[in-house]
Structure 1
Amino acid sequence: MKDLSKDSVTWLEVGEDAEGQRIDNFLMRIAKGVPKSHIYRVLHSGEVRVNKGRVPAEYRLKVGDRLRVPPIRTAERPSQVAVPARDFDIAFEDEALIVVDKPSGVAVHGGSGVSFGVIEQLRRARPLAKFLELAHRLDRETSGLLVVAKKRAALTRLHDMFRDGGISKRYFALVKGSWRNELQHVRLPLHKYLTAEGERRVSVNKEGKAAHSIVRLVARWENFSLVEVELKTGRTHQIRVHLAHLGFPIAGDDKYGDFSLNKALQKTGLGRMFLHAAKLALPHPLTGAPLELESPLPEELRAFVEKLDRNETGTYGQTL
């Protein structure tokens, strides 16, 4: 990381790790802690130059570009938390990407009250890696397959595929209630909003963005059902909100679930949300070769399903 707070101009040469990145995003990455407004001010004023010329904020960098960056003072960050290195289970890795099998309870990145997440810990564990960036997100309590790009070209292609539906994503969810349809398409628009406490939430709203989930029944008990959900769009909290809106909240969901049920489930051994990113199918972002990856249910989720099969959860999980 370059020190941009010194009094003199800094000169940078663009390498492969930044090829294709917008210059505004590049500056925000190398000048962490600087307000976006300041980044855009130095861009619009022409203080930032590329190959001696002015460029707009949306300019995409090329290998070999020479950047003139004026002094940018970052705000002091008191008592920063040291990021511990962590080795995660890896479902797949090559020169272009890593697919991490993320455990529940770990954020994918720092922010919103979380000091660090998977990506910061992965970077700390791999100090020689030149480029590691998240290709998508998983909720903190969701476990399963998470894609991390190791090259800018791979990241750009992965973003395109996630946006355009070129990646098949399937999740396992245990829901309250008896799901009846073997296959059901759920098309309900979703709207993001903030609660009075400032927390992010999502609701079904006709003014929201289109969202499409395909739900398949896997197993059913009297009071619970195990379903596989295929995402055709990738809206925030999509599976959780779609299922809850239909009257089938996910077991253990602390935002959209049945809170009294969640407390009871904790006593029977389910102390997390039962949502797991189990399957990914995609063409390799650089070679186009097909990739099909699976992550088995974590032990704590398998154990709870076995309790349902044995009818060991009391009145909450009687089998049919």
Structure 2
Amino acid sequence: MNASVVIESIVEDGDNQRIDNFFFKRFKNVPKSHIYQLLRSGQVRVNGKRVNFHYRLHAGDLLRIPPVRTPLTKHPQQRKKYPAISIAFDILFEDDALLAINKPSGMAVHGGSGVSFGVIEQLRAQRQEYKFLELVHRLDRETSGVLMLAKKRSALVELHRQIRSGQTEKHYQVMVKGKWSNPIQNVKLPLIKYMTTEGERRVAVAAAAGTAISHGRGAPKVMAAHTLFKQVKVWQNFSMLDAELKTGRTHQIRVHLAHLGYPIVGDDKYGDFVLNKQLARNRRSAGLSLARMFLHASCLRIKHPLSGQKLGLKAPLPADLQTFITQLE
């Protein structure tokens, strides 16, 4: 059960999502009838106002999530409650308005189905003196690196304004399969979200989606997406790139690279599954190995939301990714 009210700020990858679908995704074990009851009763609010289940969320919306009861099931493993794990996060920057950490790979940024405690819940438990603590943006579970949180509502609003107006700068270090040839390459390929026949959420380049989305309900929204790739180093079968996000769409870097024929090493959704399996198997031997996706949020540049000072926040490459580079060399 979600035992207390949570105020969550909607980030860009949640833009245009219907509010009932947001709750269905977040609370997969909760009956839909209960979700609709929460909406009808006004317990769910957006920017302090009641909304109906047709409402589409917008980046920057402040969503009130009321206590949600998750029914117990007969299966003992499903009834099991997992306690919060005390993690000492690597703090990159902190003052009265902001908190930036180096998020470890394998940890979701917030709790949801199958995840009891994400980064935000863990930090709230550790820092109970904070009256306000919200994610400014998100990272995929397997992505490590710079993650920014706001400790004041005014800071959150200003940082979202900077993100929407393109005033922030986000860089990722990424390893791909193949020999990248261009020193600098702008990739402007619009994306769409869709559901697979197995019910899994995916993202694809709009022009290449084809029949993959033909079974879905309604026409998917086409979202402009722009990534700037810079070549860092090239080996025989792999390339290291710097990826700068010009827009912040879900799985943007992963989908752009896969579409171009340079899948991210270790990507379990859009990558080369044969290669990934071989790299995972090699952990038992002396061969080239990697246990997760090689995608790291290395740098975030912003203006401090209160002082206006320019901040450059950097997270060093984790040991497992650095070891992969060492093996290549």
**TM-score, scaled relative to structure 1:** 0.76
What is the distance in 2 between the residues matched to 1:75 and 1:212?
40
What is the distance in 2 between the residues matched to 1:73 and 1:100?
28
Q: Compared with structure 1, are the counterparts of its residues 4 and 209 closer, same or farther at alpha carbon in structure 2 (3 Å cutoff)?
A: closer
What is the distance in 2 between the residues matched to 1:57 and 1:307?
55
Match of 1:210 in 2: 224
Match of 2:296 in 1: 276
Runs (4+) off by over 4 Å? 32-36
Match of 1:315 in 2: none
What is the distance in 1 between the residues matched to 2:67 and 2:181?
59
Match of 1:192 in 2: 193
What is the distance in 1 between the residues matched to 2:108 and 2:263?
22
Match of 1:75 in 2: 69
Identity of aligned residues (%): 52
What is the distance in 1 between the residues matched to 2:324 and 2:311?
30
Quick check: 1:84–1:124 contact (8 Å CA) kept in 2? no
SS of 1:304's partner is helix
Residue of structure 2 aligned with 1:285, choices 282, 305, 311? 305
Match of 1:90 in 2: 91
Deviation at residue 97 of structure 1 after TM alignment: 1.1
Amino acid at match of 2:50: A
Deviation at residue 279 of structure 1 after TM alignment: 0.5
Amino acid at match of 1:211: A
Between Structure 1 and Structure 2, how many residues are aligned? 266
Instruction: Let me know the Cα RMSD of the aligned residues.
Output: 2.9
Work out whether 1:57 is the aligned partner of 2:50: yes
Deviation at residue 287 of structure 1 after TM alignment: 1.3
SS of 2:41's partner is helix
Match of 1:158 in 2: 159
Quick check: 1:178–1:221 contact (8 Å CA) kept in 2? yes
SS of 2:50's partner is coil
Quick check: 1:108–1:138 contact (8 Å CA) kept in 2? yes
Report matched runs for 1:242-253 at 5 Å.
242-253=256-267
Report matched runs for 1:31-180 at 5 Å.
37-43=36-42, 56-57=49-50, 75=69, 77-78=71-72, 79=79, 80-180=81-181
Rg comparison, structure with higher value: 1
* 1:16-67 deviations in Å (ceiling 9; x for gaps): x98x99xx9xxx9xxx9895533443349xxx9xxxxxx8437xxxxxxxxx
Quick check: 1:87–1:125 contact (8 Å CA) kept in 2? no
Residue of structure 2 aligned with 1:224, choices 232, 235, 238? 238
Amino acid at match of 1:195: T
Deviation at residue 304 of structure 1 after TM alignment: 0.9
**TM-score, scaled relative to structure 2:** 0.74
Work out whether 1:260 is the aligned partner of 2:260: no
What is the distance in 2 between the residues matched to 1:43 and 1:176?
50
Work out whether 1:241 is the aligned partner of 2:240: no
SS of 1:157's partner is helix
Deviation at residue 269 of structure 1 after TM alignment: 2.7
Q: Which piece of structure 1 moves more, 191-200 or 255-264? A: 191-200
Consecutive unaligned residues of structure 1, counting only runs of 5 or more, are: 6-16, 49-54, 59-71, 310-320
Deviation at residue 86 of structure 1 after TM alignment: 2.4
* 1:183-240 deviations in Å (ceiling 9; x for gaps): 0000001101112222211000146210000000000011100000000000000000
Quick check: 1:86–1:124 contact (8 Å CA) kept in 2? no
What is the distance in 1 between the residues matched to 2:113 and 2:269?
16
Amino acid at match of 1:38: Q
Amino acid at match of 1:102: K
Deviation at residue 87 of structure 1 after TM alignment: 2.2
